[in-house]
Structure 1
Amino acid sequence: MTQDTTARQHSPWLVLATLCLGFFMILLDTTIVNIAIPDMSADLNASLDQILWIVNAYVLVYAVLLITAGRLGDLYGPKQLFIVGLVVFTLASAACGFANSPGQLVVARVVQGVGGALLTPQTLSVITVIFPPEKRGAAFGVWGGVAGVATVTGPTLGGYLVTDWGWEWIFFVNVPVGVVTVALAAVVMPNLKLNRRHRLDWTGTVLATVGLFLITYGLIEGESHHWGKVWGPITIAELIGAGVLIMVIFFVHQYMTRMKEPLIPFSIFSDRNFSLMNWVVGAIAFGMLGLFLPLVIYLQSVIGLSALQAGLAVAPMSLLSMVIAPFAGRAADRMGGKWILFTGLTLWSGGMALVVWLAEADAGQWTLLPGLLVAGAGLGMTFAPLQTIAMRDIAPRMAGAASGLINTSRQLGGVVGSAAVGALLQAQLATQLPAAAREEASALPEQYRGQFVDGFSQANTGSLHVGSGQTGVSLPPGLPDQVKQVITGAAERAFHEGFTHAMRLTLILPLAVLAAAALSCLFIRGRTRTAEREQDAAHATVSG
C-alpha cells in the first residue's frame, strides 16, 4: 500500500483522531438508539417486534456490507470510502430524525447501515498501515478508548436529549459531528492506494445478504407468528433453515473460489490468532447487544427511570472502560495481550452476571452499580488487546480485507445476538407475563380476572408494547374509575415482575456466550519476535 507523495503528510496521530471521530459517531448512534427504545416505542406506537427491527435493520445491513466495503477501500482508497460513508450516514441520520412511523425509521436505519459499513473498515485498515507494529497497540488503545467514550456519551447524552428534546434528536446530533469529520478527513487523511487492484465477489455478497436476512427475519418475527406460518405456507423454521442452507452454500462458494478473490480470503484464517479473534469479537458483540436490549427496557419500563437517569445509571461502567482501555493497549504492546484479554472477558462476564443477579422489580437507580463497575473494568481490557492480537501478523496489503472481516464478525455477532435474545425474551415474556398476571388477578373483582389474564396472555404477539410508562397491554375501555385504578396497579406489578423474571432467564444466553469467549482466549498463540514482524513493517511505506 502506498501514499500519494504529492499531498502533505500529517501526523499519524492526527489521522487517528479523525478516524476515531467518525468511528465515535457510529458507536454513539448505537448506544443512543438503545437508550431511546422505550420512548420511541411509546411515541411511534411501535410494538416490541417493530422495535427489534429498528435496532436490527441498521446492524444487519452494516454487517452484510462490511467485507464488501473493505474491498472497496482496497480498490478506491480508504480515504474516499471513509468520506462517502460519512456523508451517507449523516444524511440518513437526519432522515431518521424526521421519521414519523416505525416503517420510515426502519428504512432510514437501513441507509444508515450502508454509510456505517462504508466507513468502519477504513479505520482499522488505515491504522494498521500508518502505524508501525510496535506502536499499533497504543493506537488501538486510543481507538478502544474512543469506544469507551462513545458508550458513556451515548446513554448519558441520549438520555438528556430524549428527556428534554425528544427521541428525534438522538439522530440529529449526528449531523454536526458528521459535517466536522468530513471536513477533517478531506484535509488530513492520507491518500492510500493498493499496489494491485481487487475485484468484488458479487455472488458471495448476494448469498451472504440473503442468508443473513432470512435467519435474522426468522428470529425477530418468530414469536409474533408463534413460530408458524409467516409468508403464505412458508413457516418461520423453513425461513431460518433456508437462511442457514444459503450460508453453507456461501462458505462453499468462498472456498471454491479461494484461488481467485472471494469475499472472504480463506488464506487469512491460517493465522490462528486472527481466526480466534473473529470468534471472540463476534461473541463480545453478541453479549453486548444481547445484554443491553432487555436491560434498557428494564431500567425505564420496570424501575421507572427517565432516559437520562437510565443513561447515568450505566455511565459508570462505560466511563471506567474508557479510562482503562489506553492502559490496556500499552500493556498489550509489552505483554502480548493474551492474559489481559482473558482477564477482561472474565471480569466482564462476571460483572454482568452480578448485574443479572441484582436485578429485581423494585430495584433502585444504583442497585446494579457493583456489577456494572466490575463489567466496566473488564470491558476496558478487551478493546485494544483484541485488535492488537487480531491484526498483529496481518500484512498491510491485506489490512482492508482483515479489517472488513473482523468488523463483519463483530456486527454479525451483534445482529444474531440482538435477534436471538429478542426472540428468547419474547418467548419468556409469553410465559412469565401470564404467570405474573394470574398472581395479581386474585386481588381483582372476579368479573375482571379472566379478561385481565387474557390481556397478558395475548401480549406475546406483536401487540406487546414496552415503552416508557407502559405495562405491555392496553386496558379494556369503559372501566369505572375506581376499578381502573385497581387494575392499572395490578397490571403494573404484573408487568414489572413478569418482565424482570423473563429478563433474568433470557440473559443466561449472552452470559454463556461471553464465558465461552473468555475460555477461547486460552488458545491464543503467544507473541513471537521473528522476522515476520520486520517483514510486516517493511510492507508499509507510510509511517509516523
Structure 2
Amino acid sequence: MTTYDTVTAHPLRWRILAFLGVAQLMLILDVTIVAIALPHMEIDLGLSRAAVTWTVSAYTLAFGGLMLLGGRIADIVGAKRVVLAGLFVFTTASLVTGLAGSAETLIGGRIAQGVGAALLSPAALSLVVTLFAGDERNKALGVWSALGGGGAALGVLLGGLITSGPGWPWVFFINVPIGLAVIAALVILLPAGTPVGPRPRLDLLGALLVTGATAALIYALIRAGDHGWLTAATGWLVLIAVIGYTTFTVWQRTARSPLMDVRMLARRPVAGGAFLILMATALMVAAFFLGTFYFQHARGYGALHTGLLFLPVAVVTMVGAHLTGTFIGRLGARPLAVVALLIAAAGMAVPALTMQPIAVTAGIAFAAAGTGALFVVASATALGNVAPQESGVASGIISTFHEFGASVGVAVVSSVAAASFAGDQVSGYQDGFLVAAAAAAAGAVIAGLLTPGKPAHHG
C-alpha cells in the first residue's frame, strides 16, 4: 500500500496540488480544445467524417476504458511513479499528434494521449486524497474540481485563440513544454510513497475484462448519439458491456489478487459519489455541446467569439467549486448535492424557454455554478473515507464515471438535438436544454435519497 503522512501534513502539499492541477487541466482541456480545432484539422488533413469522430472518441475511449487499471497500478507501484509515467506518455503523445500528417497518426496519437491520461488522472487524484485530510482535503478537492469543470469551458476559449492564431497543431504542441516543466517539478516535490508490505500481482484478466466492458459501453453511447439508440449495433455493444461487467464481477470474487474489491461500489458514499460525478459531467458536457453548436451553427459566430462567451461559464464553475469546497465540511454533502442539481436545472431551463444569445449564455453560466459545486460534492463523498491502499482504485472509479457522464451527455444531446445539428432551426437545441433541465431535477431527487448525510463530528 502507498502511505503518506496525513497527521504531520506534507509541507509542500499546496505547491504539489498546483502542479498536479496543471497536469489534470491539460487532460480536461484536451477534450474541448480539440473540438473547436476539428474543422481546421478536417480540411488540412483531408479527414473523413469517421476520422473526425474518432479524433475525439479515441481519446475518450482510451481515457475512460483504462482508468480503473491506472488507479490500481498506482496502488501497487506508488502514485508518484504512475503520475510521472502517465505525464511522460501524454506529453510525448501530444508531440506526435501535433506533427501528424495523416488520419492514422492523428488517431494513434490521440489513443496514446488517452493511455497517458488514464495513468495520470486517477494517480494524481489519489495523491490529492492522501496528501490532505479533513477540511483541507475538501478545499483541495474544491480546487481540483474547479480546474476540471472550468477547464472544459476554458478549452473553448483557448481552442479559439490557438486555432485562429498559430494553427491547430499548437493545441497539442502547447502540452509539450508545460508537460516537461510539470514533470521536472513533480520529480523533486512529490514524496516517494514507496509501497510497503507484500506487493500484490496485477490482475491482468480483470483489467482486460473491465477495460473491454467500459470501452464497449462508452462506444455504444458515442455511437448512439450518431446512429440512434435502438440500432442493433448499439444493442450488441451494450450487451457486450453487460457480459463483460458481469464476468468481471464474478472473477473479482475468486481472483487471488483482484483488481478491486467490487463491494466498494455497494458502499453508499462511493455509489453516491459515482452518481453525482456522472450527473455533473453529463450536464456540463450537454450544456457545452448545445451552447457551442448553437453559437457557431445557428448564430454563425466564430471559434474565438464562441470561446469568449464561455469565459463567464469557466469563472462561475470555478467559483461554485471553490465555495463548495469551503462549506461542505460544515453543511454536509446531501443538501449541497440537492441544491447544486436544482441550480443546474434552473440554469438549463432558461435557454429551454428562450434561445436568445444572452439567455443561453446566462443560463449555461448559472447551471455551471451548480455543476461546479457538484464536482466537489461527488469527489468528497466518494473519496472522503477510503483507506490509503484503496485511494487509487476509488479515484479510478470516480474518473471512470466522469468519462461515462461525458459520453452520456454527448449521446443524449446528439440524439435529442439532431434536427438542429443538421439544419438551422433552434427547436432541437431547446429540446436538448429541456431534457438536461428535467434530468437535473430528477437527479436532485435521487441525490437526496442516495447521498450520505453529514457524518458525526470527531473533534
Separation of aligned partners in 1, 2:270 and 2:227: 39
Q: Does 1:263 align with 2:259?
A: yes
Q: Does 1:393 align with 2:393?
A: no
Q: How does 1:98-497 map to 2 (within 5 A)?
A: 98-196=99-197, 197-221=199-223, 237-238=232-233, 240-258=235-253, 260=255, 261-359=257-355, 363-364=356-357, 366-423=358-415, 425=417, 428-429=418-419, 495-497=423-425
- CA offset at residue 106 of structure 1? 2.1
Segments of structure 1 that go 5 or more residues without pairing to the other structure are 229-235, 433-465, 467-471, 473-494, 535-544
Partner AA of 2:232 in structure 1: A
Match of 1:525 in 2: 452
- CA offset at residue 183 of structure 1? 0.7
SS of 2:202's partner is coil
Alpha-carbon spacing, 1:36–1:337, altered in 2? closer, same or farther (3 Å): same
Alpha-carbon spacing, 1:330–1:225, altered in 2? closer, same or farther (3 Å): closer
Partner AA of 2:210 in structure 1: A
Alpha-carbon spacing, 1:212–1:407, altered in 2? closer, same or farther (3 Å): closer
Alpha-carbon spacing, 1:389–1:46, altered in 2? closer, same or farther (3 Å): same
Alpha-carbon spacing, 1:154–1:346, altered in 2? closer, same or farther (3 Å): same
Partner AA of 2:183 in structure 1: V
Separation of aligned partners in 2, 1:15 and 1:308: 32
Partner AA of 2:334 in structure 1: K
Q: Does 1:503 align with 2:429?
A: yes
Instruction: Tell me whether 96-105 or 64-73 shows the greater mean CA deviation.
Output: 96-105
Partner AA of 1:527 in structure 2: K
SS of 1:393's partner is coil
SS of 1:330's partner is helix
- CA offset at residue 127 of structure 1? 1.6
Note the alpha carbon deviations across 1:350-408, whole angstroms, 9 max, x for none.
2123234333xxx54x4522212311222332222221121122122211111111111
Partner AA of 2:70 in structure 1: A
User: Is the contact between residue 213 and residue 242 of structure 2 (CA under 8 Å) also seen in structure 1?
Assistant: yes
Partner AA of 1:517 in structure 2: G
User: Is the contact between residue 218 and residue 404 of structure 2 (CA under 8 Å) also seen in structure 1?
Assistant: no
Separation of aligned partners in 1, 2:173 and 2:269: 40
Note the alpha carbon deviations across 1:188-223, whole angstroms, 9 max, x for none.
011113334233232232223333444444554568
Q: Does 1:75 align with 2:70?
A: no
- CA offset at residue 79 of structure 1? 0.6
Separation of aligned partners in 2, 1:94 and 1:253: 35
Separation of aligned partners in 2, 1:387 and 1:504: 31
Separation of aligned partners in 2, 1:413 and 1:204: 23
User: Is the contact between residue 23 and residue 87 of structure 2 (CA under 8 Å) also seen in structure 1?
Assistant: yes
Instruction: Tell me whether 284-293 or 61-70 shows the greater mean CA deviation.
Output: 284-293
- CA offset at residue 291 of structure 1? 3.4
Alpha-carbon spacing, 1:290–1:208, altered in 2? closer, same or farther (3 Å): farther
Note the alpha carbon deviations across 1:252-300, whole angstroms, 9 max, x for none.
4324432544334223234212111112212322232233234323222
SS of 2:258's partner is coil
Q: Does 1:515 align with 2:436?
A: no
Alpha-carbon spacing, 1:96–1:244, altered in 2? closer, same or farther (3 Å): same
Separation of aligned partners in 2, 1:209 and 1:377: 33
Separation of aligned partners in 2, 1:96 and 1:389: 37
Separation of aligned partners in 1, 2:64 and 2:341: 23
Alpha-carbon spacing, 1:34–1:348, altered in 2? closer, same or farther (3 Å): farther
User: Is the contact between residue 150 and residue 313 of structure 2 (CA under 8 Å) also seen in structure 1?
Assistant: no
- CA offset at residue 342 of structure 1? 1.7
Separation of aligned partners in 1, 2:228 and 2:312: 39
Match of 2:93 in 1: 92
Partner AA of 2:91 in structure 1: T
SS of 2:66's partner is helix
Separation of aligned partners in 1, 2:227 and 2:338: 40
Alpha-carbon spacing, 1:108–1:512, altered in 2? closer, same or farther (3 Å): farther
User: Is the contact between residue 49 and residue 221 of structure 1 (CA under 8 Å) also seen in structure 2?
Assistant: no
Note the alpha carbon deviations across 1:122-156, whole angstroms, 9 max, x for none.
12211221112232111111212323552343222
User: Is the contact between residue 93 and residue 112 of structure 1 (CA under 8 Å) also seen in structure 2?
Assistant: yes
Separation of aligned partners in 2, 1:403 and 1:251: 21
The structure with more helix, counted as a fraction of residues: 2
Aligned length: 452
Partner AA of 1:322 in structure 2: M
Separation of aligned partners in 1, 2:344 and 2:321: 13
SS of 2:167's partner is coil
Q: How does 1:55-74 map to 2 (within 5 A)?
A: 55-74=56-75
Alpha-carbon spacing, 1:127–1:353, altered in 2? closer, same or farther (3 Å): same
Note the alpha carbon deviations across 1:148-186, whole angstroms, 9 max, x for none.
552343222221111222222212211121111101110
- CA offset at residue 53 of structure 1? 2.1
Note the alpha carbon deviations across 1:3-45, whole angstroms, 9 max, x for none.
59xxx96421122112111111111222212333444445445
Larger Cα-atom Rg: 1
Match of 1:441 in 2: none
Match of 2:14 in 1: 13
SS of 2:386's partner is coil
- CA offset at residue 248 of structure 1? 3.1
User: Is the contact between residue 3 and residue 194 of structure 2 (CA under 8 Å) also seen in structure 1?
Assistant: yes
Note the alpha carbon deviations across 1:400-421, whole angstroms, 9 max, x for none.
1111111111112223432454
SS of 2:454's partner is coil
Instruction: Tell me whether 267-276 or 401-410 shows the greater mean CA deviation.
Output: 267-276
Separation of aligned partners in 2, 1:329 and 1:339: 14
Alpha-carbon spacing, 1:295–1:199, altered in 2? closer, same or farther (3 Å): farther
What root-mean-square deviation, in Å, do the aligned CA atoms of Structure 1 and Structure 2 show? 2.8
Instruction: Tell me whether 156-165 or 176-185 shows the greater mean CA deviation.
Output: 156-165
- CA offset at residue 226 of structure 1? 8.4
User: Is the contact between residue 94 and residue 175 of structure 2 (CA under 8 Å) also seen in structure 1?
Assistant: yes
Partner AA of 2:441 in structure 1: A
Separation of aligned partners in 1, 2:262 and 2:217: 23
Note the alpha carbon deviations across 1:94-147, whole angstroms, 9 max, x for none.
222222444432221111100100100112211221112232111111212323
Match of 1:478 in 2: none
